Structure 1
Amino acid sequence: MITVEGLSKSYGNFRAVDDVSFACQPGRVTGFLGPNGAGKTTTMRIMVGLTAPSAGRVTIGGHLYQDIPNPGRHVGVLLDASAQHAGRTGREILSIGAETMGLPASRVDEMLELVSLDKTEAKRRLRNYSLGMKQRLGIAHALLGDPSVLILDEPANGLDPAGIRWMRGLLKGYADRGGTVLLSSHLLNEVELIADEMILIGRGKIVAQGDKASLLAGAKHDTTNVSSLDNDLLTKALEHEGYSVAPAGAGLRVESAPVDVGRVAADNTIVLTDLRSADGGLEDLFLELTSDTQRDVLPEGAQA
């Protein structure tokens, strides 16, 4: 279990992490989401003793990371897949890790097989690895000591679709066996598929946390996409009831909940061919909650 309590980190007048508190439970995957510069990596670095906090603390299994004996046997960490000696081979990197942790050499072969790095790739030097191969090696290193907790920063970065699916299954299986997983990612759709809990951070502050259902339930879902056999008649009926209606593709977009739209259609004997919430899921919620931190907004009137 990971427990973050009142965590803050300042660099001069800039506060990278601002009074952050949350917990990651065993048997669950927790997604840590936020724009670039939101404070995700700083928080993770504090967790594993690479950065000192200005206030608050993080405990793993009730202990500060620095107080855990042979921490690699308890906490698997991947913050930067390239942060290894570029001149060493993949096998050498894992072998050094295994020796440091007091593990048998056979564990190296087990991990190479687990992450699908073959014998030829294992003998290749890190500088000649693709980003996806570095990620696989980094995951192997994080799992080397058979830890009970995993802390992973952007683990899907550089993986192809098959690799992302492989990683998803790997981490879900790890959590199903009782492991605690904290992962940061910008791949929101992937987080929706894998995470049991989600923590959204913006400008160093937690803006929302909970499981997907509770997060989306807390947002307003009162916009509907609808189409019918007679969209003109449906538009008139909806506007007569006071709803705002606009064309949307082959259908209509209505500022109301689907149940209200369906009721108007039924009252006017209009056959619907499509009726669904216009909710955009986690991505829309994420962008809404972190809107003041987004930089990729096209200025009005600007053209691509």
Structure 2
Amino acid sequence: MIEVSGLTRTYGGFTAVDDVSFSCAPGRVTGFLGPNGAGKTTTMRIMVGLTPPSSGRVTIGGHLYRDIPNPGRHVGVLLDAGAQHAGRSGREILTIGARTMGLPDSRVDEMLAMVSLSDEEAGRRLRNYSLGMKQRLGIAHALLGDPEVLILDEPANGLDPAGIRWMRDLLKGYAHRGGTVLLSSHLLNEVELVADELILIGRGKIVAQGDKKSLGALDAQVSSLVTALDPAALVRGLEAEGYRVAPEGEGFRVNASTADVGRAALEHLIVLTDLRDGAAGLEDLFLELTADTQREVAPGAPAAPAAPAAPEGAHR
């Protein structure tokens, strides 16, 4: 169990995390989503003691991270897959981790096999790893101590489609066995497939949280997207039936189900060229809920000043 209570982190006059509270339960995968600079990584760094909070606290299994004895045996962390000594081999990195945690060297071979790094790849220096290989090694390191909790920041970054599916199955299986997973990712479709709970953050504040069903209820109004050979006739016919019609893309959004739109078109002898459910998926919901937190720079305008950089961290 991860409990985040009133967490705030400021850098001078800039607030990176603003009174954030949420929990992650055992047996569940929690997706942590937000635009770049929203505060996800800062929140995760605070969780594992790499960045001190200005106020609030995070407990894992009822303890502050710093108070957990041999924390790698209880919390697996992947924040930056490249935050290891570039001159060490993958096997050396895992061996050092295993010995630090008091694990047998045989655990290293188990993890290398699990993440599909061959003996030849395990012997390469980290500087010669591709991004995907670094991610696999980082995942192996996070799972080395067989922890009850996983905290992962963009773990699928750099993985190929087969690797992403492998990651999805891995996390589902881990949660099914009672593990707690907090997963940050910009791959919204992948998060939608694997996450049981979703937390959306923008400019340091939580803008929505809950399971996919409850978040979907925030945009629960039935709607359809429709195009027709005669757009003007389509609008007249739908409005005659009492529906609201608004332009969207090459067609219209209607506040009615696809069945009702189809019946209205038949009633008014309108030929439809496209008709689909207009309900928002996770990507649409995410963009809608974080719309006022998206950072855009107009052409020719100076970029907004960057937030003060947090100290470099490493995954444990």
What's the TM-score once normalised by structure 1's chain length?
Answer: 0.91
Q: Is the 8 A contact 2:219 2:280 kept in 1?
A: no
CA 246–205 in structure 1, closer or farther in 2 if over 3 Å, else same: closer
CA distance in 1, matches of 2:133, 2:240: 60
* Number of aligned residue pairs: 297
Which residue of 1 is the match for residue 8 of structure 2? Answer: 8
CA 245–17 in structure 1, closer or farther in 2 if over 3 Å, else same: closer
Per the TM alignment, residue 248 of structure 1 is displaced from its structure 2 partner at its CA by 5.3
Per the TM alignment, residue 161 of structure 1 is displaced from its structure 2 partner at its CA by 1.2
Q: Secondary structure of 2:132's match?
A: helix
Partner AA of 1:42 in structure 2: T
CA 16–248 in structure 1, closer or farther in 2 if over 3 Å, else same: closer
After TM superposition, the structure 1 stretch with the greater mean CA deviation from structure 2, 110-119 or 236-245, is 236-245
CA distance in 1, matches of 2:297, 2:29: 31
Q: Is the 8 A contact 1:237 1:268 kept in 2?
A: yes
Which residue of 2 is the match for residue 255 of structure 1? Answer: 254
What's the TM-score once normalised by structure 2's chain length?
Answer: 0.87
Partner AA of 1:46 in structure 2: I
CA 230–24 in structure 1, closer or farther in 2 if over 3 Å, else same: same
Per the TM alignment, residue 235 of structure 1 is displaced from its structure 2 partner at its CA by 3.5
CA 70–41 in structure 1, closer or farther in 2 if over 3 Å, else same: same
CA distance in 2, matches of 1:12, 1:228: 56
Structure with larger RCO (C-alpha < 8 A, sep 6+): 2
Q: Among the aligned pairs, what percent are the same residue?
A: 75
Which residue of 2 is the match for residue 51 of structure 1? Answer: 51
CA distance in 2, matches of 1:35, 1:101: 35
Per the TM alignment, residue 217 of structure 1 is displaced from its structure 2 partner at its CA by 1.6
Q: Is the 8 A contact 2:225 2:254 kept in 1?
A: no
Gap regions ≥5 residues in structure 1: 300-304
Per the TM alignment, residue 290 of structure 1 is displaced from its structure 2 partner at its CA by 1.4
Per the TM alignment, residue 58 of structure 1 is displaced from its structure 2 partner at its CA by 0.5
CA distance in 2, matches of 1:144, 1:106: 11
CA 234–292 in structure 1, closer or farther in 2 if over 3 Å, else same: closer
CA distance in 2, matches of 1:70, 1:51: 19
Which residue of 1 is the match for residue 189 of structure 2? Answer: 189
Per the TM alignment, residue 80 of structure 1 is displaced from its structure 2 partner at its CA by 0.5
User: Once the two structures are superposed, what CA deviation does each residue of 1:233-270 show, in whole Å capped at 9, x if it has no partner?
Assistant: 54431132353254855xx4233122653453465476
Q: Is the 8 A contact 2:153 2:183 kept in 1?
A: yes
CA 245–101 in structure 1, closer or farther in 2 if over 3 Å, else same: closer
CA distance in 1, matches of 2:216, 2:246: 24
Gap regions ≥5 residues in structure 2: 300-316
Q: Is the 8 A contact 1:5 1:20 kept in 2?
A: yes
CA distance in 2, matches of 1:76, 1:125: 23
After TM superposition, the structure 1 stretch with the greater mean CA deviation from structure 2, 290-299 or 19-28, is 290-299
Which residue of 1 is the match for residue 245 of structure 2? Answer: 244
CA distance in 2, matches of 1:38, 1:121: 35
CA 246–46 in structure 1, closer or farther in 2 if over 3 Å, else same: closer
Which residue of 1 is the match for residue 160 of structure 2? Answer: 160
CA 245–18 in structure 1, closer or farther in 2 if over 3 Å, else same: closer
